[in-house]
Structure 1
């Protein structure tokens, strides 16, 4: 299988942080999004950002910026679909999604997702820890993009509802240190800063 592409999901409205782009919040010596990029880029063939609004605010990252292909902030699946369409246009078979507010996800995320989906005709897998799935971290086959588009147009919003219908595999990661800890509030950002400092 060809190396996957990646889509960083940054299309949410960050209401619990007072709005704006969570990915541009400071963490350590850079931003949340820069840390996410540093983690995902060595694992994939190419990376794009899913974000709505003026793409110029993100040009510092030098990445394609893809808006949701469906209006109305319908959730992370719209960002996944944007990534699937982009990856397909570039000749890729799969795209991996990661969240822009989760700076400490595993450095072997992609390898473990690919392993979990091995042997599937349409490789589809979600990341999980023993306490549950993390559906914004997944491996998505571009061959299913029109199926997903139809599901979204029909009102489907829950990630796992669609992935379960397609028999998605699960890649389970150890929960030590909460690898999928994400920043939703100012308190979370302070906690992320403490984690970053402890890692230095």
Structure 2
């Protein structure tokens, strides 16, 4: 079994947040505290250490006491760039990722991803959720992966492809379907922020 100390949590806060008017999403107030604090609160007990991937406001993010790493290419090229930076900086054999704008992420996220990875000796396991109609949706920015995938990801990015699902298809990967769709709710617009605050108050 993979122990908690072997896993580093990588919080992805490197996006442009264009639909939020370009505001740094991790620092937007959610229930009177920055969004990233809710993510740290839920992820920290599940992992051995934390890394924060950010491309601006680095000083502000560093006040949380965790290493802050930026993408190699500061063109805000999406989650895979954050993955790549995290895999390079990760001090452990495994890394689990979560975005900074999903404050209700499952408290058993790592436990279930680890169980699936161990069962099938997978290189990467990502979360999926089920909506009320029973349809399954991939939640690829919530994933557990072996740090040994760093080279594979660098090669994939170097070909100019930034689609997460395409990279996953090249790997020995699997998914875990979580019952709670709301656990993966993320905030892309001011309206979604208000809706999620009301739903979680």
Q: TM-score, normalised by structure 2?
A: 0.91
Contact 1:2 1:93 in 2 (8 A): no
Q: Does 1:152 align with 2:157?
A: yes
Candidates 32, 42, 45, aligned match of 2:45: 42
- 2:94 aligns with 94
- 1:163 aligns with 168
Q: 1:54 to 1:101 in 2, by over 3 A?
A: closer
**Which 10-residue stretch deviates more, 52-61 or 188-197?**
52-61
- 1:6 aligns with 9
Structure 2 unaligned segments of length 5 or more: list them.
Answer: 131-135
Candidates 191, 194, 197, aligned match of 1:193: 197
Contact 1:122 1:143 in 2 (8 A): no
Provide, for residues 64-99 of structure 1, a one-character-per-residue CA deviation record: whole Å limited to 9, x for no partner. Answer: 111012342221011011111111xx2x11100001
Structure 1 outlier segments of 4+, above 4 Å: 119-122
> How far, CA to CA, are the matches of 1:72 and 1:10 in structure 2?
14
> How far, CA to CA, are the matches of 2:161 and 2:66 in structure 1?
29
Which of the pair is proportionally richer in strand?
Answer: 2
Structure 1 unaligned segments of length 5 or more: list them.
Answer: none
- 2:117 aligns with 117
Q: TM-score, normalised by structure 1?
A: 0.91
> How far, CA to CA, are the matches of 1:121 and 1:143 in structure 2?
13
Contact 2:123 2:171 in 1 (8 A): no
CA root-mean-square deviation: 1.4
SS in 2 for 1:134: strand
> How far, CA to CA, are the matches of 1:121 and 1:85 in structure 2?
22
SS in 2 for 1:61: coil
The alpha carbon displacement at 1:2 in A equals 3.9
The alpha carbon displacement at 1:121 in A equals 4.4
